[in-house]
Chain A
Amino acid sequence: MVTPSIETTTVDVLILGAGGAGLLAALHCHDAAPDLSIAIAVKGLLGKCGCTRMVQGGYNVAVDPADSVERHFRDTIEGGQWLNDQELAWTLVTGAVERVMELENRWGCFFDRAADGRVHQKAFAGQSFDRTVHKGSLTGIEIINRLAEQVLARSILRLEDHRALDLLPARDGNGMAGALLLDIRRGVFRLVRAGAVLLATGGGPSMYRYHTPSGDKSTDGLAMALRAGLFLRDMEMVQFHPTGLALGPATRATGTIIEEGLRGAGGHLLRADGARFMTDYDPRGERATRDIVSRAMAGEMRRGNTGPRGGLFLSMAHLDPAMVRRDFRGMVDRCADLGFDLVGGLVEVTPTAHYLMGGVMFRPDGTTSMPGLYAAGEDTGGVHGANRLGGNGVANSTVFGGRAGDTIARHAVAGAAPPEPDPAVVEAAVTAAIRPLSRPAGDLYHHRERLLDLMWEQVGIIRDGAGLAGALAELEEIGAGIEATGVAGGPLYNPTWQDRLNLGNQVLVARAIATAALARTDSRGAHYRADHPAAGPLDETTHTVVRLEGDRPVAGLCPVAFPRLRPPPPGCIGGAA
């Protein structure tokens, strides 16, 4: 039996997560209100966790005089299939201009320049203008390195190797009391009392067999939000990237991204028999959009036209090898390290779960329905609608992270005593987290495999009502199995215990995804229902909302408003006037 030990830390502001959203929130909040005491919690090391760091493509922003925020906005809405919250999307495109300037001039990011010395902007799928600012193909490293070193230089309390277990509403129902954390190193619970809490842990569909997000991502923020009674929107919108590595179950490299630009540069996708197939699905062939390529690949894979690892093949061999080596150096090196040849050989690939468009409902200033709780980044929903454009993800995390930091700086009062948490909630969270350590150890990874396979097969790229209903029943069973599984190895920096806690959150969010996907009886963007393949009338667009009722996610549908841009009338091709 393990006796829980709880330490208490009191601050004015608690930031959960240290990707682009969390770091910018910390910097903005600190610099706008230096008297506030701020803590930033991260599951691993500051600046090394989350997915902003993994951004390869870049940052969409209308800074060219020939471009405009209106065009960026229209691209974002059309890409999102009219499902976006338009005020959030407008805030994204206008905020991006300010934020890119700030990243360069205040935090020191040094983006690539064009021959004339101005910032270089490259073409990226789904956009009417070349507007993606970047640093080579490692844009995220530049952004996160520069932000993290600024946080390091300020008096901001870093809670590294700390995971958040649950949000703590005030005992009297009036605002936030903080959050319960676990110090992963020492196996000690840390009750952080704070009247302002920012949820910025990042989403990440890591509950699919093939997935791209960083290994620390387990939808903790979304699960905590559900348990705290918040509404999530658009949870059925899971973006799949067409090319992840298919290297089999023995390596964590499986599922990680093979750069999209390879297809743009002329790369071919091949079946196991060596034949191309994308031209059968779309006149643009391999250069079709992410959703179309992923769906075509999923169809081919279901028909069993696959290689030894269950995937299809990417081939660059028909292209100039010097070009491939020069333009895709990072990818060529990565493949070589993993033992194969991207330039002249075949790379086995599979679509891979990449991004959650859905998340906590929030306002442009970062506030949520719960006073004292703020949200930003991939934990939120509504910015991207049914499909996120490449290059809008890092814009989302940095724009809204900074804005949430500004809002918190205005709302929070330095040194004010935070509300009292409900001791019953604290105790329940501690008990739930520590329970696996006192139960007999079971085969946790068997449950994980079942979860990942089920989500891939039934709640993945191609869905239907019967499959989703069956999946919901099976997810409950898997959830109960995870809940009953104990873990050996003790409380100190125990990765199996952490995986057990991760899986509890992943299976809950998986149920939210399946619930929303069952409620949405049309096909839009990333969500494709084989039994409802039509998009439905755009001007009657609704978005899903999921919340927890008891311990079961329930879904509803809400109409989408079009305050800035109206969808085209039925039968009309192209954008609205």
Chain B
Amino acid sequence: MSGPDTALPDTALVVDLWRGDAGGGGLVRYRVPVDPGQTILDVLTWVQRHAEPGLAYRFACRVGMCGSCAVMVNGVPRWACRTRAIPVARQGRLEIRPLRHFPVIRDLVVDFEAFFARWRRALGRFAPASPPPDALAVIAPDASDRQLVDAAIECIGCGICLAACDSVGANPDYLGPAALNRAWAAVNDRRDDTMGHLRAAARDGGVHACHAQGSCRRFCPVGRDPAGAIVGLKRRLLVAALKGRL
């Protein structure tokens, strides 16, 4: 499949795919026929169905809801199912690699274990201090705390923010933007134990390990703002510390 690029970009894309495993690997070149609607996921599917049956790649929902399919495309972390190939190709070329900052399992499939471990360490779950009431809480939709929760949830857990984050590259213990964004939603959820979540966000590797470069916000495919969440957590922690509540 490899060889000099002689095809015109309007008939075939030149696609360099990273193939290998935890022990190492490299780029392999494929030519993929152009279709105007095709996504990065469709490019991978074409290669798997027509050229490389064993090509490992991950996807589930096909529509940007499950967060399974993110890969690096020409150096940028993107969701494969919602990224059309032609607009992101450079002179008809695509270089697709596994998601940065994630251990490789095989080819383009990465291990999410550490991603979810961070979520757990950030107390990324509903953990109220008292037993649940037996009625649905009455909370005005325009209350400021509810609006902060709304802005933070609906994260699809795709890992793109973690792949984009330079702080996590420098400090693997850093909880990272997705987990802290979850913590921020919990801190603003009046049904939850907000102080408990705040303390978890303050631990080693917590909010103070963020260097505020904002890549997480820039690359989030669903418009979340983990950088803003981390700023909010830092501010809330400062207030709590001044009041002696930490």
* Residues of chain A whose beta carbon lies under 8 Å from any beta carbon of chain B: 44-49, 53-54, 63, 100-101, 104-108, 110, 112-120, 135-136, 138, 140-142, 145-146, 149-150, 152-153, 185, 214-216, 247-248, 250-253, 256-257, 334, 337-339, 441, 445, 487-490, 492-497
Query: A441–B174 Cα gap in the complex (Å)?
Result: 46
* Residues of chain B whose beta carbon lies under 8 Å from any beta carbon of chain A: 21, 35-39, 41-42, 45-46, 48-49, 52-68, 81-84, 105-107, 109, 112, 116, 119-120, 124-126, 132-141, 146, 149, 153-157, 182, 186, 189, 191-192
Contacts of B116 in A (CB 8 A): 46, 152
User: Is the beta-carbon distance between A250 and B37 smaller than 8 angstroms?
Assistant: yes
Contacting residue for B56 out of A106, A115, A150, A495, CB 8 A: A495
Contacts of B137 in A (CB 8 A): 104-105
User: Is the beta-carbon distance between B154 and A253 smaller than 8 angstroms?
Assistant: no
User: Is the beta-carbon distance between A252 and B62 smaller than 8 angstroms?
Assistant: yes
Contacts of A495 in B (CB 8 A): 48, 53-57
User: Is the beta-carbon distance between B41 and A252 smaller than 8 angstroms?
Assistant: yes
Taking A108-B191, A117-B139, A253-B37 as contacts, is the C-beta distance between A153 and B120 under 8 angstroms? yes
Query: A200–B138 Cα gap in the complex (Å)?
Result: 34
Residue of A nearest to B21 (CB): A492
Residue among A106, A112, A149 having the largest count of chain B Cβ atoms under 10 Å? A149
User: Is the beta-carbon distance between A105 and B191 smaller than 8 angstroms?
Assistant: yes
Contacts of A150 in B (CB 8 A): 125-126
Can you offer 8 A-B residue contacts whose CB atoms are under 8 A? A48-B157, A53-B61, A107-B126, A110-B149, A152-B125, A214-B61, A492-B106, A494-B53
Query: A107–B141 Cα gap in the complex (Å)?
Result: 20
Query: A54–B124 Cα gap in the complex (Å)?
Result: 21
**Least Cβ–Cβ distance between B142 and chain A, in angstroms:** 8
User: Is the beta-carbon distance between A489 and B35 smaller than 8 angstroms?
Assistant: no
Contacts of A114 in B (CB 8 A): 141
User: Is the beta-carbon distance between A141 and B65 smaller than 8 angstroms?
Assistant: yes
Contacting residue for A215 out of B60, B126, B132, B192, CB 8 A: B60
Contacts of A104 in B (CB 8 A): 136-137, 191
Contacting residue for B140 out of A113, A253, A256, A337, CB 8 A: A113
Contacts of B146 in A (CB 8 A): 113
Residue among B53, B83, B132, B182 having the largest count of chain A Cβ atoms under 10 Å? B53
User: Is the beta-carbon distance between A216 and B60 smaller than 8 angstroms?
Assistant: yes
Contacts of A489 in B (CB 8 A): 52-55
User: Is the beta-carbon distance between B37 and A338 smaller than 8 angstroms?
Assistant: yes
Contacting residue for B132 out of A106, A119, A149, A250, CB 8 A: A106
User: Is the beta-carbon distance between A136 and B154 smaller than 8 angstroms?
Assistant: yes
User: Is the beta-carbon distance between B42 and A105 smaller than 8 angstroms?
Assistant: no
Residue among B52, B112, B116, B136 having the largest count of chain A Cβ atoms under 10 Å? B136
What are the 5 closest A-B residue pairs judged by CB atoms, nearest first? A108-B126, A489-B54, A105-B132, A496-B53, A489-B53
User: Is the beta-carbon distance between A48 and B60 smaller than 8 angstroms?
Assistant: yes
Contacts of B63 in A (CB 8 A): 54, 253, 256-257, 334
Residue of A nearest to B36 (CB): A339
User: Is the beta-carbon distance between B54 and A496 smaller than 8 angstroms?
Assistant: yes
Query: A493–B104 Cα gap in the complex (Å)?
Result: 12
Contacts of A54 in B (CB 8 A): 61, 63, 65-66
